[in-house]
Amino acid sequence: MLGLAELYLSRGMIPESRSVIEGLPKNKLADAQRARLSVLHAALSLVDGDRDDAALLDATEGWEDAAALRAHAAQEMGRTDAARALLTLAQAALPTLPVELRSLVLPTLLDIAIAAEDWDTGAALAAAYPEIPALADQPGYWLRLGRVAERRGDPLTAFEGYLRASRGDDADAHRARIALVRLGRGTGTLGRDQQRALLDQIRWAWRGDEVALDGLSLLAEVARETGDSLGALSALAQILRDFDDPAVRNNARARAETMIAAFYEAGATGGIGLSAFLDGHSHIEAEWRLDGMFHAHSGQLAKTLLERGMTAAAAREARNLREVMVVAEELGAMDPAPELALDLIQTELAAYLQSGRIDAASDLASTLTLPIEDTELTALLGELAARGGTAPVEGDARALQTRAERAFEAEDFETAHALYSEYWNLRPSSFAFRDAVRLMIAAYRSERPDTVARLSADIPRLTELPEWDEIAQSLSRALAPAEDPARRILSNAGTLASLERATRASDAAAAVTDGASP
């Protein structure tokens, strides 16, 4: 039966061969027969495209008639020396293989011959292409003929081979386009516009493998050489989107950072006009906004706008970059960069002060965390205070209350709890009912039962609201361990209703209570 399966395979009758070997009991075969069966399995897997090169090498160990298969497997595994050592035997054994296997291994064998500069064997292998319908006159054939000609110092014939190969649409056709660009660059016979056109074809038609990576990398280099840094950065950004290999990504980011740093430096020093600076920044931000490397340099645009007196644009740009940075950090796309964020706040604050927008400056200053050690920012805050604004100065309870309110409105209940608690401790006499209710809600949301208990005891002195005892008890029950899940759900539902009543009571109290200022 093994002989029948081998006969079917040799005649290209793949399904018939597979049907025979699938019915053979491997454990009942002699050692020599099991070896032959392993070869059949490996060869059929190669035809299926589900190959295991290591298994193929093991299965065909010592079998000269399988030299073509062994050379192919060794080359695919990166064992180029072993593949070259088998090349002569492989070329001799090639005709014994069925056409399906020859169509798979012949391109690899010719690649081995080209790399080894074994032109005689290469010529014999190239002559076998017309005998195989799946390979004859295909891009892979002309690509390899072009490589042979280029390696032998015949650029004209090489160009012709690559050109014919490039008329296809498979991986070898795209390899031929890359080869055309490199040949044209080396001989000075292909203009950069033509280079870009060929590489753009690959970019939009082929994705995700080594051919696409090679094309994108070369496209970035060609674009950079023509002064199109935005085009180069776009190609590098696509590499980061399409490839996960750390070495590939690190190389792309390093190349991109060099260009991004140069772009923003040119914009800041007048090397490019403001219009081009703004337009370029917009393009770069679209593809690199979540990368910390972008944020390390992009703040220069806001500073440049401020230096030119464009205060509204400077403030808007600084604020936008801060918000994008927060998103990038929350997504884990970049590490927290407090110094960069503080630098943007300083630019935005300076823009507000230059344009007399004291309220906007006060709102921004209220977001700062104390203590502030930056001397330039401290000077700006001093100017803000001198001009009637609210600056977050140590011991300034009003600024502390403002920051607590903003944190609460942003539903940052952990921060709101900390700030309202600090305000309560600092100025208990100024701690109004509205502040107490908001602290209670923040304590509930951040699961701080101690604060809820303390407030429950203290708030009655701030209000005569008859519902308060019920609200406080409901909040306390919600934070206590429930006896069973169903009771916990009911407790939370009641608590939410209480919180809504507390919020309404807070708003009503704010309308009739002065809320003493510190």
- Model confidence over 404-436: pLDDT tens digits? 888 888 889 999 999 899 888 887 767 777 788
Range of the domain at 511: 412-518
Burial of 409 (0-12, 13-18, 19+ CB in 10 A): exposed
Same domain, 518 and 416: yes
Distance CA 38, CA 194 (A): 50
Same domain, 421 and 454: yes
> How far is C-alpha 483 from the chain's CA centre?
46
- Put simply, whether the predicted model's pTM sits higher than 0.85 gets the answer no
Same domain, 422 and 385: no
Kindly list the distances between the CA atom of residue 188 and the CA atoms of 147, 159, 191, 352, in Å, as whole numbers in the listed order: 18, 13, 8, 54
Among 97-101, 200-204, 265-269, 393-397, whose mean pLDDT is lowest? 393-397
Give residue 472's pLDDT.
59
pLDDT bracket for residue 4 (50, 70, 90): confident
Last residue of a domain, which of 101, 131, 158? 101
Burial of 210 (0-12, 13-18, 19+ CB in 10 A): exposed
The token pair that represents 180 in the structure block = 């055309």
Cα-Cα-Cα-Cα dihedral of 374, 378, 380, 381, to 10°?
A: 140
The proportion of the chain whose per-residue pLDDT surpasses 70, expressed as a percent, equals: 75
Same domain, 384 and 421: no
Give residue 178's pLDDT.
96
185 within some domain = no
Give residue 19's pLDDT.
75
Kindly list the distances between the CA atom of residue 446 and the CA atoms of 122, 394, 423, 458, 475, in Å, as whole numbers in the listed order: 74, 26, 18, 20, 12
Instruction: Domain count for the chain, please give it.
Output: 3
pLDDT bracket for residue 272 (50, 70, 90): very high
Query: Residue 15: CB partners within 8 Å, gap ≥ 6?
Result: none
Give residue 488's pLDDT.
44
Among 76-85, 110-119, 135-144, 293-302, whose mean pLDDT is lowest? 76-85
266 within some domain = no
Distance CA 195, CA 315 (A): 42
pLDDT bracket for residue 29 (50, 70, 90): low
CATH at residue 374: 1.25.40.10
Whose structure tokens read 């295991």?
Answer: 52
Return the HEC string of 191-258: CHHHHHHHHHHHHHHCCCCHHHHHHHHHHHHHHHHCCCHHHHHHHHHHHHHHCCCHHHHHHHHHHHHH
Query: Residue 187: CB partners within 8 Å, gap ≥ 6?
Result: 155
| Residue 318 burial (CB count, 10 A) | 27
231 within some domain = no
Q: 90 and 101 in contact (C-beta within 8 Å)? A: no
More confident of the two residues 479 and 107: 107
pLDDT bracket for residue 515 (50, 70, 90): very low
Distance CA 201, CA 4 (A): 48
The token pair that represents 498 in the structure block = 């209480």
Residue 353 scores a pLDDT above 70: yes
Same domain, 387 and 464: no
Q: Tell me which residue of 253, 262, 180, 164 sits closest to 215, measured CA to CA.
A: 180
512 within some domain = yes
Long-range residue pairs from 279-285, CB within 8 A, at least 24 positions apart, any chain: 280/229, 280/230, 283/230, 283/233, 283/234, 284/230, 284/233, 284/260, 285/324
Whose structure tokens read 């800041």?
Answer: 268
Last residue of a domain, which of 363, 394, 425? 394
Q: 46 and 104 in contact (C-beta within 8 Å)? A: yes
Same domain, 431 and 390: no
318 within some domain = yes
Give residue 80's pLDDT.
87
331 within some domain = yes
Residue 68 scores a pLDDT above 50: yes
Same domain, 461 and 497: yes
pLDDT bracket for residue 296 (50, 70, 90): very high
More confident of the two residues 70 and 378: 378
Q: What are phi and psi of 283, to 5 degrees?
A: -70, -45
More confident of the two residues 492 and 208: 208
Preceding peptide of 371 cis, ω within 30° = yes
Question: In this structure, what DSSP letter does residue 271 have?
Answer: S
Same domain, 440 and 377: no
Specify the DSSP element, H or E, that contains 434. helix 433-445
Same domain, 86 and 5: yes
Most confident of the ranges 309-313, 384-388, 505-509: 309-313
Same domain, 390 and 416: no
Question: Kindly report the CA angle at 393 between 518 and 435, in degrees rounded to 5?
Answer: 40
More confident of the two residues 47 and 380: 380
Kindly list the distances between the CA atom of residue 315 and the CA atoms of 211, 305, 365, 448, 454, in Å, as whole numbers in the listed order: 44, 9, 13, 38, 42
- Provide mean pLDDT across the span 259-281: 96
Same domain, 296 and 383: yes
> How far is C-alpha 230 from the chain's CA centre?
18
Residue 150 corresponds to which amino acid? E
pLDDT bracket for residue 286 (50, 70, 90): very high
Give residue 485's pLDDT.
44
Give residue 101's pLDDT.
76
Last residue of a domain, which of 394, 429, 455? 394
305 within some domain = yes
Q: SS3 breakdown of the chain: % helix, strand, coil, rounded to 5?
A: 75, 0, 25
Same domain, 390 and 424: no
Give residue 513's pLDDT.
45
- Provide mean pLDDT across the span 201-214: 93
243 within some domain = no
